[in-house]
Structure 1
Amino acid sequence: MDRLSVLDEIFLRSHRGMGTPIVLQGLWRTAEPVHPALLWRVHRDLRTGPLGRRVARSRVPGARPRWQPNESAYPFTMTQEPIPVAAILDWADRQGDDLNPETGPGWRLSAARLDDGGCVVALTCSHALADGRALVLAIDNALAGIPLAAPVAGHSDWADARRMWATVLGGTARALRHGIPDRPTSPPPRKALSGSRTGLATRSTVLEIPAREWNRVAVAHGGTANSLFVHLIANMLWASGFPSGTIAASLPVDTRDEPRVDNDMSMTEVAITRADTPASLRAKARAAYEHRMTSPGGIPEEILQVVPDRWAYRLAKGAGERDILCSNIGNLPESLLSLGPHACTGVAARAIHPGLRRDALPRTRLSGYLSRIADTYTLSLVGLDPDAIESAAALTKLAEATLGELGLRATPW
């Protein structure tokens, strides 16, 4: 599809300051330098692939914006001087700056030499262009030199506008037969933060856990790898001082039925209490996946695409945000374990929030991203409560302590 989805436009508005900025990132570590020529080739294939696009607005009222090919891109860059291994995530966080899916470029490929003789490579992409699974598809195909199919051209702007207005007006009329729906509730206000209003708002860490041990603990608690993940993130939040006895968790769900580089996902949620275990969360998550988050009162979600941006932002403000985000990206293809002839010592996938201000934090206080490649689970964490989690080191310590209570040991990056 060459038109933006509702979700695409929600992420697009965040780039204009309407919502929480979200950028996705894949990270690769190697024990030796990666030859720049290899990464230049990957950059070329990404530029001409499905990430090489930008948003084109329509002048027809009600017609959705269209994806337009855009081969202009930030050049591939590699640091001239090695950076400390301890500064990997600080460097990686900066790679999300100045991405714009509307004017382009919406993605960046970059690398840094490390002071231990190794290298870190980052592919960073606006969430408007792709979700986590899509980013994996894009880089996997670029590394293999296999082009992905281009989006199928859609209807004309006038035809798209007629279809959108018919969907919105017809669906709204049907919904109103059951009465006027309740006004969407705004997320609870965050407490005033100490310190500078413009200081660093997020803390990040990445840890690796042997898959065999993770799965052993999950089975021992009657859960799955995913329910153990949700249990872990919730208990980390409580350990950080979260006062409520119930935590609302947002769980992204991959909905694609074929490989596509887009946002093909929906959101669901579970309510977690201190009495929950990986076993009980397994049942809760299974039930939640049958009931995805939808617009209130049956009003078609497409209404967000035909009203002005600021109205749409108010209607969808906080949509999908809960106390924690638990994004299980799943199994990564083992082809990502190497960059050409260079074996990778670590592979991570996560989201970052460039430009997020301390006075504009979302409801979400802790985000977790879990992926598995070969025999390793990689847990990427982003803290969004700088008063409760004051530093990246504090976040790492919190994760290690909570994992330790489950009998798990992790290796930080």
Structure 2
Amino acid sequence: MEVDTMTNEFELTKEQEQELQRQWEILSRGAVEIIPEDEFKQKLAKAIIKKNPLKVKLGLDPSAPDIHIGHTVPLQKLRQFQDLGHIVQLVIGDFTGQIGDPTGKSETRKQLTPEQVKANAKTYIEQLFKVLNPAKTEVHYNSTWLAPLTFAEVVQLAAKTTVARMLERDDFEKRFNNNQAISVHEFFYPLMQGYDSVALKTDVELGGTDQKFNLLMGRQLQKEYGQAQQAVLMLPLIEGLDGVQKMSKSLGNYIGINEEPNQIYGKAMSIPDELMVKYYKLVTDLPHEEIQAMVEGLEEGTIHPRDAKMKMAYTLVRMYHGEEAAKEAEHHFKTVFQKRDIPEDIPVTEIDQSKLGDGKIWVVKLLVDLGLVPSNGEGRRMIQQGAVKINGEKVEDVDYEVIVEDGMIIQVGKRKFAKIKLN
């Protein structure tokens, strides 16, 4: 899509028009929706003419200590903004995190304690800077401006919108129609997220498509407070390893950026073929041209899906653990999996993580629970015969305690396999 001719407010030189077109193509790539598109282009043009970088905001509530690659979709876009000279406003929701975003929830979320939020936030920054450039990132904690608000100021903030407007949200509307409880404090979440944009005078805010209501609240509040309204850039949500539901730690269908290299590589190899292109475009740092060549190769049949998946697995490990770790993870995968004739269509067995206690289980009990052997006695015999392997490694001790991991492959004999999915 080409950039429309600017209004009379801006007069661009030919070089500036080319730069505007370049930035627009990069920043709009992969976006589901930009609201309003014309305003976003105007902001870009103004930033180029005045050499004044845009302030681009992303808010993150530290509801869990670790980040998965689904979280990195907006981070990759933020890095593109940074590489083009713009400034990122990273808002750690240490205040809003105590309430919890009600988006997509069918019931009131459990509130986190300040201690939980603080502990989670501490690990966030280190992980975020695996993608972002620290030199072009402003880190803000929204308790800085939200905690000091007086009750009178909170009432004034609440007066900026209506209950009817709040009930336009799908999740609130469904709960209201189903006679499910909606706590008053949940209405304050979008108000507080919007107020973050007021406090920081944000130019552009990023978020997933599920955040549309909250993102537009920022525009509404900026207008109410007499500020220029931010543009909103929405990015797609990414499905998890199951290929169906949104990537989530609670669903166990995620790849954590802090996971061990072999685990990242192995999980990436389990991504459904039909999602590969989406993953390439949204969660890798590969150049657009390289991704496009990969897409064309897959469509034409000149690139095998397995080779494309191995390239992606290598890239993800390299991004978060470095080149050497990626080489080792690839070697491990080829040695353990490819050369052991492990089939690709291994049946998946869910294990309730809460029942594992310290995360360990007696290997013989595991074999029985997975249905790979009919009894403890048979399990012992198979181990003594050297017929039991975990991730391709032979188990020789019948008293071995297995540290259960998501994606782990258990093998008995030459034909019995089970892949573990932690629930």
TM-score by length of 2: 0.24
Task: State the structure with more CA Rg.
Answer: 2
Choose between structure 1 and 2: higher strand proportion: 1
Choose between structure 1 and 2: higher helix proportion: 2
